[in-house]
Amino acid sequence: MTTRPAGDDLLAVFKRADLGGDERLDLMEFTLVLDELGLAWTRAETQDRFEKADSNLDGFISYEEYRAILESQGWAEGPLPGARA
């Protein structure tokens, strides 16, 4: 996928990458997401963005954290449904 994905596409990509089925991504799963979205970040950039996205510091990225980091990079269309402005 090389075009900016819509919200439903982002959720589908997240679910496919969530190999553990625990509704959160570890660093390896996050890397799978980037590959599927066609984002070419270095390992250092990926690690940095993963750490920035992990806002609750649990070592995983939830769907909300995933959307937030992609929005901040211009790779998601608009805020999450129900998100406050």
In a domain, 20, yes or no: no
Return the pLDDT at 79. Answer: 46
In a domain, 57, yes or no: yes
Return the pLDDT at 41. Answer: 84
Sequence letter at residue 19: L
Return the pLDDT at 4. Answer: 57
**Tokens describing residue 32:** 């799978």
In a domain, 40, yes or no: yes
In a domain, 45, yes or no: yes
Query: Residue 82: left if φ>0, alpha if ψ -120 to 50, beta else—which one?
Result: left
Which of the two residues, 3 and 70, has the higher pLDDT score?
70
In a domain, 62, yes or no: yes
Question: Which pTM does this prediction carry?
Answer: 0.76
**Which range of residues forms the domain containing residue 43?**
26-77
* Number of domains forming the structure of the chain: 1
In a domain, 47, yes or no: yes
Confidence of residue 57 (pLDDT cuts 50, 70, 90): very high
CA–CA separation, 85 vs 78, rounded Å?
A: 11
Lowest mean pLDDT among 4-13, 39-48, 56-65: 4-13
Confidence of residue 44 (pLDDT cuts 50, 70, 90): very high
The DSSP secondary-structure symbol of 61 reads B
In a domain, 33, yes or no: yes
